Structure 1
Amino acid sequence: MSNAISGMTKTTLRAIMLTLALGGAGAGLAGCQSDKDIDITKLVPESDPPDVLYNQGLANIKAGKMPEASRKFLAVDRQYPFTEWSRKALVMTTFTNYRMGRSDEAVAAGQRYLQQYPRSQDSAYVQYLIGLAYSRQIASVTQDQGSARKTIDAMQKVVNDYPDSEYVDDAQAKIRFARDQLAGKEMQVGRYYLERKEYLAAISRFRAVVEQYNNTNQVEEALARLTEAYYAMGLTDEAQTAAAVLGRNYPDSQWYADSFKLLKSAGHEPRENTGSWISRAGKKLVGA
């Protein structure tokens, strides 16, 4: 929220303080909350000037009344379109929808903002809010990961289009989380096939993790499962290579210990075949 309000002028801040005072805020938020019969959003008609409506919306945010704040910002947007106040209100509509958990509405408002004001001072923030809205919808790996993909796309735009913005670090963190979810989904499906002894189908999933999601925390298990699947198919050379790559990158991993034990049980040991796809992929692993 601080990002959205930090750009307010002193005049706007004074207007907010006055509005809070009218609402019975006294010296702070606690006073406002104690006047339970007073709704500061009702003190100004919806037909009032846009600056008044906008500041009422900000005051409602401070009072924790997100639905009322959203109503004020929508009134500005609808009654005073294509004005500077409408532009600012659309930013806050995106924000309040996100805060209320209305992710689809937040995305819709944010996308409309970026279409109308693609190079404004708040574009980076709005793009970041869109990414946050998608991120909030990411489900467990047992469910569809469409929101994870949308999170990556949205946050990558923050990184690419606004590289100097203050949102880049968190955008990159959200990308890493979403990628880990996608890798986790591949592992979940791969384990299902492995349990059913459908080894080729399982290998394709584990391979996707190693090649496409090589900077996630799913790689260790993926290499161990490849060792297991290839060994079960009698492809000892590939199993040894998977274990060798695992051991080189994660020597203290329990997954490596298990893979080493599996190979040793049949008189084999990890040994890398540099002509294998696993070896080539292993050179691209983070820390390789």
Structure 2
Amino acid sequence: MFLKMRKLIPFLSLILVMSSCNEYQKVLKNEDVKAKFDLAQKYYDAGDYKRANRLFEQIAPKYVGKPQGERVMFFFANTFFERKDYNMAGYQFERFIKSYPKSEKVPEASFLGAKSYYMLSPAYSLDQTDTNKALVKLQTFINMYPDSEYFDEANKMAKELTTKKEKKAFEIAKQFNKLGHFDYSFLTPAMAAFDNFISDYPGSIFREEALYLKFESATEYALNSFARWKPERLASAKTAYNVLKKQYPDTKFAEEADKLLGKIQEEIETPTTTKEKETK
């Protein structure tokens, strides 16, 4: 008996699936808006966001200005989010907020819209347009809804995206620094990039290393300059060292920094002759 029942289960499941498909197709082609709303709600509650999305899409225009319109539009936006179509989710949540600015669902819609753009944020090495958009949306949510249940998560996401932007800017500066070891002309943009990074991201986790690498670039730049420019550039390099030590007295780069400072002092006391690959 048990074996017979086991054989029947797949068959019964198939019948249920076919019945559900038939119901869906029938309602989809029907003009009965109420029937579509009820079935869309059923699919939404069951987690079948693909079918719910299609039905909500059909009836959303019919509910504009009606009491159920707010509910339909929010669920419609959320079906995109649940299906990981974050571009459309972000757009639809923005539409919901504009259409129903006084809705009690606005804080949640604001958060989910921001999170949609957060999910679109690419690796730090790629274009950060979506990252910037997500940060704006997240900061707006954080400022407007400090008591929201989503506040901590929003803060965490904003911090993660900020770090991603910091890393991109930092890696660009580091790349100039690396190139500067082979071509001294890259040391000028390296120092400028580190200065911009330090100014733009004062609380960055990469700040200490940025200050050290700025000093390293400045030292290489000074040591490989023409004699007439060396004194000024050596002095600038020493200033960069002092800034690093003042802000990070126990810096983890102390050993490397002190060695470079030793080269600067030696050059000041005993200037070397001009090299062929000097910078201007």
* TM-score, L = length of structure 2: 0.72
Pairing of 1:130-169 with structure 2 (within 5 A): 130-169=113-152
Q: Cα–Cα, structure 1 residues 261 and 103, in superposed 2: closer, same or farther, change >3 Å?
A: same
Q: 1:187 aligns with which of 166, 170, 186?
A: 170
CA–CA separation in structure 1 for the residues paired with 2:246 and 2:68 = 58
Q: Cα–Cα, structure 1 residues 161 and 33, in superposed 2: closer, same or farther, change >3 Å?
A: farther
* Gap runs ≥5 in structure 1: 1-30, 270-288
Pairing of 1:62-211 with structure 2 (within 5 A): 62-197=45-180, 198-211=186-199
Following TM superposition, by how much is the alpha carbon of 1:42 offset from its aligned partner in structure 2, in angstroms?
4.5
- DSSP-derived class of the 1:233 partner: helix
Following TM superposition, by how much is the alpha carbon of 1:92 offset from its aligned partner in structure 2, in angstroms?
1.5
1:181 is aligned with what amino acid?
A: K
- DSSP-derived class of the 1:36 partner: helix
Listed one character per residue, the Cα deviations across residues 153-207 of structure 1 (whole Å, up to 9, x for unaligned) are: 0011111222222222111111111111111110121122112222232223323
Following TM superposition, by how much is the alpha carbon of 1:149 offset from its aligned partner in structure 2, in angstroms?
0.6
Q: Cα–Cα, structure 1 residues 161 and 267, in superposed 2: closer, same or farther, change >3 Å?
A: closer
CA–CA separation in structure 2 for the residues paired with 1:184 and 1:167 = 26
CA–CA separation in structure 1 for the residues paired with 2:199 and 2:88 = 35
Structure 2 counterpart of 1:222 = 210
Listed one character per residue, the Cα deviations across residues 224-255 of structure 1 (whole Å, up to 9, x for unaligned) are: 3223222222333233134315534xx4xxxx
Listed one character per residue, the Cα deviations across residues 102-134 of structure 1 (whole Å, up to 9, x for unaligned) are: 222112211211211122111111111111111
Structure 2 counterpart of 1:14 = none
Aligned residues: 231
* Structure exhibiting the larger radius of gyration computed from Cα positions: 2
Taking only the aligned residue pairs, the percentage that are identical comes to 17
Listed one character per residue, the Cα deviations across residues 52-96 of structure 1 (whole Å, up to 9, x for unaligned) are: 544433432343322111112223312221222121111112211
Q: Cα–Cα, structure 1 residues 92 and 33, in superposed 2: closer, same or farther, change >3 Å?
A: farther
Contact 1:41/1:60 (8 A) holds in 2 = no
Q: Cα–Cα, structure 1 residues 264 and 87, in superposed 2: closer, same or farther, change >3 Å?
A: same
CA–CA separation in structure 1 for the residues paired with 2:237 and 2:15 = 72
Listed one character per residue, the Cα deviations across residues 198-222 of structure 1 (whole Å, up to 9, x for unaligned) are: 2232223323332322334332332
2:32 is aligned with what amino acid?
A: D
In terms of fraction of residues, the more helix-rich structure is 2
